[in-house]
Amino acid sequence: MAAKNQKMNFKLAKLFDSDGNTSTRWFVYYFFKDPETDKFVRFRIFVSQSLHTRSERYDRARGIIKAINKRLSEGYNPFAANKNELTPTSEALEYFLESKKHLRSRTITSYRSYVKDFNDWLVEKKQINLSIESLSYHTAQKYMDEVGSRKISNRTYNNILQSLRCCFNFLVEKEYLIINPFFKIHQRQTEQTEIIAFNQEELTLISSTLPLYNFDLYVVALLVFNCFLRPQEIVRLQVRHLKGVHEYLPIPGNVSKNKKNESIAMTPAVRSALEKLDFNFPGDYYVFSKHLKRGDCQIAPTRIAEEWKKYCLKYGIEKNIYALKHTGNGMALENGANVRDLQLQNRHSSLDQTQKYLDRFRRVPTEKFLENFPKL
Boundaries of every domain in the chain? 2-73, 84-173, 200-369
Q: What's the pLDDT score for residue 166?
A: 93
Q: Provide block-wise average pLDDT over 10 residues at a time, the chain (376 residues).
A: 56 90 89 85 82 86 85 77 71 89 80 92 83 81 93 90 93 83 87 76 95 96 94 92 83 83 89 92 94 93 94 94 90 85 89 80 65 80
Q: Which CATH superfamily is domain 200-369 in?
A: Intergrase catalytic core (1.10.443.10)
Q: What's the pLDDT score for residue 292?
A: 95
pTM above 0.75, yes or no: no
Spatial CB neighbours of 270, under 8 Å, sequence gap ≥ 6:
219, 222, 223, 226, 227, 249
CB 343 within 8 Å of CB 354: yes
Looking at the domain 84-173, which fold is it?
DNA polymerase; domain 1 (1.10.150)
Task: Give the whole-angstrom CA distance, residue 321 versus residue 151.
Answer: 28
Q: What's the pLDDT score for residue 108?
A: 86
Edge-to-edge strand ranges of the sheet holding 40-47: 10-16, 26-33, 40-47
Q: What's the pLDDT score for residue 5?
A: 42
Q: What's the pLDDT score for residue 288?
A: 95
